[in-house]
């Protein structure tokens, strides 16, 4: 009976949060509530599926590796869809992985994260998620800037700049703004936010100092991973490997 009551409370709170978000979007004229509802339903289905298989995944290193690869694949697809880069969107996967893979390897090789699923999956998920967010934001800012300041791009070409150099000069600063959320989270940790790694270890019974140390490593790892993602995005856009279809046409005509 107690368990049934807890599930009812959980359902009611989740529905209320989703309805509130959708209502505010509609009331404020910001957007349709549809994406919020779809995201909530998708999250529910995905967490239910993961909960059903996570025990087997965490108990097997090969399955853990496969699960991390699945995470990276979904992150790539999500970022490509958000940036509307079509088939070229596969390149955003490089931006997501370029910092994430070395960061996970460094954590394992130094012994800070043990080579087992229960440690690799959450830490890897945090790093991949951060890289995905930074990649999506930086690609959107870079491509929007390239579109809005296309006249400056053409002027740079007229002055003798090569295409990659001209694009880099335009998009570096706008793309770098994608790092602001990670910077703010790191600057305010403990004062404004208590991130998941810290809270999870506390709830699991770990000493406070150990939880704080792991959280510090994760936050600094996120900064490194997201910085690498943004720098890679700048190069991919500059080299024409990541563009929206209309922008690719504009650049060729220029």
- pLDDT at position 196 is 66
- pLDDT at position 245 is 64
User: Which pLDDT tens digit goes with each residue over 200-237?
Assistant: 666 566 677 677 777 888 889 999 999 999 999 999 99
| Helices and strands (DSSP H and E) totals, the chain | 11, 0
Q: Rounded to whole angstroms, how far apart are CA atoms 204 and 143?
A: 43
Q: Are residues 95 and 175 in the same domain?
A: yes
Average pLDDT, 10 consecutive residues per value, the chain (254 residues)? 70 91 89 89 88 82 92 92 82 94 93 86 92 95 92 88 90 94 86 68 65 82 95 94 68 48
Closest by CA position to 71, among listed 108, 137, 125: 125
- pLDDT at position 159 is 87
> Residue 160: which region, alpha, beta or left (left: phi > 0; alpha: psi -120 to 50)?
left
Q: Are residues 118 and 229 in the same domain?
A: yes
Q: Are residues 125 and 18 in the same domain?
A: no
Range of the domain at 203: 60-253
Angle of helix 61-83 relative to helix 34-59, nearest 10 degrees? 160
- pLDDT at position 253 is 44
Closest by CA position to 235, among listed 95, 133, 33, 115: 95
Q: Rounded to whole angstroms, how far apart are CA atoms 51 and 227?
A: 32
- pLDDT at position 177 is 94
- pLDDT at position 224 is 95
Q: Are residues 1 and 69 in the same domain?
A: no
Altogether, the residues listed in the chain come to a count of 254
- Number of separate domains in the chain: 2
- CB-hemisphere CA count at 13 Å for 121? 20
The residues near 132 (Cβ < 8 Å, ≥ 6 apart) are 75, 76, 78, 79, 96
Q: Are residues 64 and 123 in the same domain?
A: yes
Q: Are residues 100 and 14 in the same domain?
A: no
Q: Are residues 19 and 112 in the same domain?
A: no
Q: Are residues 50 and 82 in the same domain?
A: no
User: How many angstroms separate the first and last alpha carbons of the chain?
Assistant: 69
Q: Are residues 6 and 118 in the same domain?
A: no
Q: Are residues 38 and 70 in the same domain?
A: no
- pLDDT at position 92 is 93
User: Which pLDDT tens digit goes with each residue over 32-50?
Assistant: 888 899 999 999 898 888 8
Q: Are residues 184 and 146 in the same domain?
A: yes
Q: Rounded to whole angstroms, how far apart are CA atoms 244 and 165?
A: 19
Q: Are residues 167 and 124 in the same domain?
A: yes
Q: Rounded to whole angstroms, how far apart are CA atoms 120 and 105?
A: 10
> Residue 195: which region, alpha, beta or left (left: phi > 0; alpha: psi -120 to 50)?
beta
- pLDDT at position 77 is 92
Q: Rounded to whole angstroms, how far apart are CA atoms 38 and 47?
A: 14
């Amino acid at each position: 009976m107690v368990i049934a009551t807890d599930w009812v409370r959980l359902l009611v709170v989740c529905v209320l949060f989703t309805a509130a978000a959708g209502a505010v979007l509609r009331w404020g004229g910001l957007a349709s509530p549809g994406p919020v509802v779809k995201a909530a339903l998708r999250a529910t289905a995905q967490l239910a599926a993961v909960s059903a298989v996570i025990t087997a995944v965490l108990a097997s290193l090969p399955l853990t590796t496969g699960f991390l690869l699945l995470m990276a694949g979904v992150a790539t697809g999500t970022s490509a869809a958000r940036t509307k880069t079509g088939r070229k969107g596969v390149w955003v996967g490089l931006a997501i992985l370029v910092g994430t893979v070395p960061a996970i390897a460094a954590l394992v090789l130094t012994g800070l994260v043990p080579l087992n699923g229960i440690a690799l999956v959450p830490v890897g998920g945090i790093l991949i998620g951060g890289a995905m967010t930074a990649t999506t934001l930086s690609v959107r800012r870079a491509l929007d800037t390239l579109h809005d300041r296309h006249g400056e791009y053409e002027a740079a070409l007229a002055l003798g700049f090569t295409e990659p150099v001209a694009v880099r000069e335009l998009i570096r600063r706008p793309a770098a703004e994608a790092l602001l959320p990670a910077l703010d989270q790191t600057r305010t940790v403990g004062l404004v936010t208590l991130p998941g790694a810290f809270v999870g270890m506390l709830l699991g019974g770990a000493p406070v100092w150990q939880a704080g140390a792991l959280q510090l490593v994760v936050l600094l790892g996120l900064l490194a991973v997201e910085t690498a993602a943004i720098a890679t995005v700048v190069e991919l856009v500059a080299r024409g490997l990541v563009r929206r279809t209309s922008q690719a046409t504009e650049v060729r005509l220029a």
